Structure 1
Amino acid sequence: MATNQPGDQLLYELRAREAWSQRDYERARVIAGQAVDLAREDNNEVAWWNMAFLQAECLREEGAVQESVLVAQQLRDHPLTSQSPSLAVRVLTLLAVGLQGLGQLPEAVRQAAAAVEVATGAVDAPELRVEAHQALIASLAESDRLDEAWAQCLALSVLLSTEMRSQTAGKAHWAIGNVAFMRHEVADGTKFHSLAAGNLSPNNDLDLWARFNRASAALRLAAGVVDAETLECIERAETASSIVGGNDRDQLELSLTRAHWLVLTGQLNAAVKRLKPICADSTILASQTAGEANLLLGRALAGRGDDIEAMNYLDAAKANFIQSGAHDRAAHVAELIESLMQPESTTT
C-alpha cells in the first residue's frame, strides 16, 4: 500500500492552484480532488477545507452549479468553518452565488445575508466583506427587492477604500451600477459602471472583463438604453469571450444579451432565430434568466404577430419567474399575457 510522502500534499495544492490560474478548471478540480483525498488520509482538516473549496469554485466555473452548491453546503457545515469568520464568509458567499445561479433566490438571499452578518467579525478581511455584500445585492436585485438592494449598495460604498485592490473595487462599483440600472436610474448606473470599467482591466482578467461587459450591456438594455455604448459593451464581451471561451451557460447568456439588442432594435426575425435555441437549452440557465429568455422570445413573436406561439413562451416565462421567486417580473408577464388575450375577448 502506497504511503504519502512529505510534501505530497503541498505539491498537489500548488499544481491545482496553477491549473486554476491558467483557467484549466477541469484539471484544477481533478488535482484538487486528489489533494482532498490526501488531506483526508493525513487528517489535515485545513488542507481538506481549502482544496474542497477550490473544487467547488472549479465546479461553478465549469457550469456545474448544482454540484458546486453541494460541496459548498458540506463546507458550510464543517466544524472548521464555525471556528473562523473568514472561512464562513467565503463559503456562505460561494453558496449564495451558487443558489442564485440555480434560481433559488429566497435561499440565496438568506445565505448572503448570513455572509454579511458573519463578515462583521472578519475585520482583517475587508475584501471578503465586500464580496459578501455583492452576493447579497445581486440576490436581492434578482428577487425584485430593489429598495433593499440599494440600501445594501449604500452600505457597500462605505466599505470601499483607496487601499483596496482595484479589481475588488471594480466589482463593487459593478454591483452598485447594476442596481442603479434596475431602478432605471440610468445616470447613476452609467457612472458606477464607468468606475467599474476603470478598475477592471482586460489585461488582468479577460474572462472577468467579458462578464462585466455582458452584464453592463444586459442591464443597460433592461433599462431601455439602446445606444452605441451599449452595442460596444456587447461587442467587447463577444470579442473577449471568443478568446477565453467560457462554459455553455456563459455562452447562452452572452447570446441572450445580443438577442435582447435585436429585439429592442426591431430586428425581430433575427431575434427569434437566436432566441429559440437559447430557450430550448434554458435548463442550464438560472430559472430567472430562463424567464428573461422566454419573455424576450414571447415579445419578439408577439411583435411580428405570432400571438399564439408568443403565449406559450410567455407562460413559460411566468412559470420561470414564479419558480425563482421573482414575483414582480412574474406579475409583469401576466399583464403581457392578459394584453395579448384582450383583443380576442373583445371580439367574442
Structure 2
Amino acid sequence: MRLAIFTHDAALFQLIESCFEAEGAVCTRYSAEVELARALHREEFSAIVFDAAAGFDPSHPVLARRACYGDRRAPLIAIGDFCARDRVLAALEAGADDIVLLPVDPRELRLRFHLAVRRFASHPAAVGGCLQAADEIETGVYHLHRADGTAYVNGAPIKLTAREFAIAWVLFSQQGNYVTRRSIAATVWGSSEEIVGRTLEQHIYKLRKKLLLDGAHGIVLRTMYAHGYRIEQRNEQRGEQRIEPRNEQRIEPPVERVVQRDASPARRAAANDKIKVHAGNSATARSAQPWSPEPDNWAFLTQNTGTRRLA
C-alpha cells in the first residue's frame, strides 16, 4: 500500500505516516506541485492525501491534471478546515473524493481512507458519490469532448494534438481566470516552466490559430505578462479596454494684455496706450517679423550720444 502525501507541514506528514504505520503503508511526501503531478503520472498509489492549506482549487496542477486527462487512478482525500458547507462542496467540485477535518483524528483518517479506496475500486468514475468532473465543456460555439480529445467549433471537428487539447481544456475550464504558465507546464507536461517555456509558447500560438481564438467567434485567448493566459468573452475584453485620448498639444487662444511702454518720455505721457500681445505658441507669434527700433527711441539715443564711440 502506497500513499502520496502533499503537504508543506512536516508535523502533519509525520501524523499521517504514523496512522498507517501498523498497516505497513509506504508514505511519500511531496512539497512541490510539479513533483507530485509527475509522480501521479508515472507511479501507482493507493490514495492521495492532500493538505488543503497548501492551496486547494481547480487551478492546482494536480487537480487540473486529473480533470484534464481523467487521470483518476487513486482516490484523493483532502485534509483541511472545511467548516462551512460551501467550502465542503467547493472541495468536492475541485476534485476531492473525500475530506477529513482539522484537527486530524487518526481513526477518522483511516476510516475515510479505506472507504474511499473501496468505493474507487468498485466505481472509479464516482468515488464517494462526489460530483463527477464534466467530460464536456461548452462555451459559445466551442465544444470540447474529453473522452475522445476532440474540439468542435460550430459543430466542425478541429484536429488537435493531445497536448494542445489538454491546454485548451485547462484554459476553457478556467474561463475568465488567468492560468499561469507554471500551472500549465506542471499540468500538461509535469515539468517546470523553465523547461517547457518555448514549447508552451508554440502550442499557444498553434491553438490560437486552429481554434480562431482571436474574437472571430466571440471568444478571445488573451495573454498578459506575469499573469498567464485567459479565455474570455469578446464583450468582456471590450469592457476592459479603454481608449485613452491622444496627448496632443493644446494651442491657447491669444491673450490680451495691457502693457505700459516707458522707452521715451513721449510714451510715458501716453499711459492709456494699449497693445495686443499674442501667446508664444500661437500662429500669429510664429509668423511675426523681428521688431525694428522705433524712430523716437533711436532719435533720443543719437541725440544724447553724439559722435562718441561706444566701447
For the superposition of Structure 1 and Structure 2, which TM-score range results when normalised by the shorter chain? under 0.3
Computing the radius of gyration over CA atoms, which structure comes out larger, 1 or 2? 2
With normalisation by structure 1, the TM-score equals: 0.22
Q: Report the structure, 1 or 2, having the larger helix content.
A: 1
With normalisation by structure 2, the TM-score equals: 0.24
